[in-house]
Each structure stands twice: as structure tokens, then as C-alpha cells.
Structure 1
Amino acid sequence: MKVNLREDVLKDHNVVAKLNREIFKKNNTLVINLMSSPGAGKTTLLEETVKYLVNKFTIAVIEGDLATDRDAQRLRLLGIKTVQINTVGGCHLDARMIAKIIPEFDLNQIDILFIENIGNLVCPSGYDLGQDYKVVVLSVPEGNDKIPKYPVMFRRTDITIINKIDLLPYVSFSIEEAKKDLAAINPQAQLLELSAQTGEGIEDWIKWINDAYLQCVKP
């Protein structure tokens, strides 16, 4: 028996992603899909981002994990509307999951919606959730091999954040090599260097979000 693999197996998901995007656009809600490997610092980065932006924007979060709501609890402590999605073993979020919980948000009152995806450098890269931007976080302790070893993830993102730069003196990681590897597979992608723990460099990330929001709400 032959199986024709030319048809897009993600077609239905992409249709739902398009509908999600239309809903977000209608409400002028900027949506950022945040991806990384486990432990890269997505939640800490979100916590610090919220602290910088909460007085200017109304922010909400969709938190994706295989199990538990520990990260969601951390964000709720900041007074942020956070809805948990547990995939119970699934390695990524998809557009259908997002669509199911959109009604839990009053998007008309939300300026920025962050989607913290499952910690994984493979599966999340292939799924459009209806977001405006895909952002990948790479932490310096992971080493310089991640960009060339997982090119699909970095090729499909709008911006790459190098996190935990406060650890550069203690690990073997080259920012210049990361820039070179990223430019080779995704010349259009931006690269930011920061430490979510110390706050070093986070102003550039905040500026990027502000600029992205202004672009999002243009008529």
C-alpha cells in the first residue's frame, strides 16, 4: 500500500492557525510564540518582561507544559492572566489547543499575549499557532552546537535570544559563532543577547516588543 505524502499533513492545523490569527488581529492583540529547549529560561524571561511592561500593556500568557502548572503559578503571582495547557506527553502546542482556550481570554482587553511553548527544539518549530512572531531562546550553557544541529527551529523564527549571558565567563560559548551560524541559516533573523536573571541587555528585548506592538496595531 502506497501513502501519498505530498499533501500537507498540517493542513487542518494551518486552517485553524489562520482563524486564530484573524481573531488576534481583530482585537489588536500582539501574539508572541516563545520557544526553547527545557531550562533555557523562558519563564524567567517572561517574569522579567512582565515587570517591565505591565504598567504600559495588558499582558496575558498561555503556558504550555507536559504536566503541572508550576510555571503558570509563577506568572499568576505577578497578577497576569495565565491559562495552562498540559499536553500529557505531547511535545508541542498546536493551533487547535490555542483555539480551544481563546474564549477564556477577553482579547479586546489584552494588548500582548505570550505563548510559552513546550520545552523542545524540534516539534514546536513546525506548528503555526496563529502568532505574529516566533521567538526562540537559547541559553549559553547549551553550547554553540544547537543552532546548526536544530536548523529548522532557528530558520523559522523571527528573533533569537541568547539568554544567561552572565554565565559567559564560566562556560564555553561564543556569541560571535552563534551570530555566524544564525546568519548562515536565517539572515533576516535578529539576535539579542541578555540575562533574564540579572537584567543585562533586556532593554533591547523590551524595545523589540514595543516596536512589534506598534506594528501589530497599525490599521
Structure 2
Amino acid sequence: MGSERVQQAKKFIVLSLFCALSAINGFAWLMFDPAKKDLEKVFDPHFSTSQLTLLSSWQPIMYMVAAPFATAALVKPDGLRTVMKVGCVLELMGSTIKFLALISPHHAFSLALLHVGQILSACVSPIAIGTPAELSAVWFPEDQRARATGCAVLANNLGNGIAYLTVPAIANAFGYSHVVMMEFLIAVILISLSWLFLPP
């Protein structure tokens, strides 16, 4: 009975951490679109509509690039745990670089840094989008797999929705740097929880 409870707790910890990673990845994907005017002010005169389009396009581009590596890692023993930890590291690195880009936004290199940070965040997309079925197959019994997969899939869309709802309000009230700071803080919390609580 005790070991069954431990196993129950473990699978919901894994699902919760995965959903958090997927949601932050969904947030990172669309965090620029709702704040076009704020970004134009921050990165003036270097920011343009084509820059905005490219920032939002890195996610599908990097999905195609990174998906083979994520798939190769998943089939190895302990692969799911490894890709989740790598995803947390990439998300933290991406948000850190994006935050650094906003320290001196009027320099031309700052926009390049923003793209580098977004590319690193985008490398998490094959993990966030491509592994829910693997997660539910490894951690959940057959009668719970549909619900677990559904939760894991919807988390990325939840992150998209949170971006559209919160980014304009935060950017208008405090400035766009606070949007990136929020992403960074969530990434720090997520990587800490993953290293502490993600079971083998």
C-alpha cells in the first residue's frame, strides 16, 4: 500500500513538472506577438515586423532541427528524465540570454541575443510537444493514459493562452523586461524542482 502511494505521487510529480515545462515553452513561443509596440519602443530602431515574425517562427523551425535528437534520447534508458532535464536547462539558458538582451536594448547585438535566447527556448519544443504519449506510456496505467496525455498536450496551449492574456498587461504596466524576468524566474523554479524531485 505504501509503495503504491509513492508510485502514485511519483507519476503525478512527473506529469506536473512536464506540464510546467510545456506551459513555459508555450509561453516563450508567443511572448513577443502580443507586445509588438512595446518591443518596437525597447529595441528602436532595430526592431521590425520581420524580426517579430522570425522570433515567433523559431519554435517550428527548431522543432524540425531538434526533434531527431530528442527522439534519439527518448529511446534510451532513463530517456524521458534526461530530455526533461535538458529541456529545463535549455529553457533557463534561453530566458537568461533574453534577459541579458534587454539590459542594453539599443545596441544592435541585443536583438541578436534575443534571437539566440529564443532559439534555445525553441529547442525545447520537441520535448514539450512530442513526448506526452511517451510520458503517459511510461508512468501511467492504461486506464489513465488518455487523461495524462491530454493534460500534457494541453499544457503547451495553456502557455500560449497565458502569454496572450498576461504579456500585454505586464508590458504596459511594468515594461517588457518584466515579461522576460517572469519567464526567467519560472525557469529557475522549474529547473530547481526538476533536479530535486524528478524521479528516476
Q: TM-score, normalised by structure 1?
A: 0.27
Greater share of strand = 1
Greater share of helix = 2
Higher relative contact order (CA 8 A, sep 6+): 2
Q: TM-score, normalised by structure 2?
A: 0.29
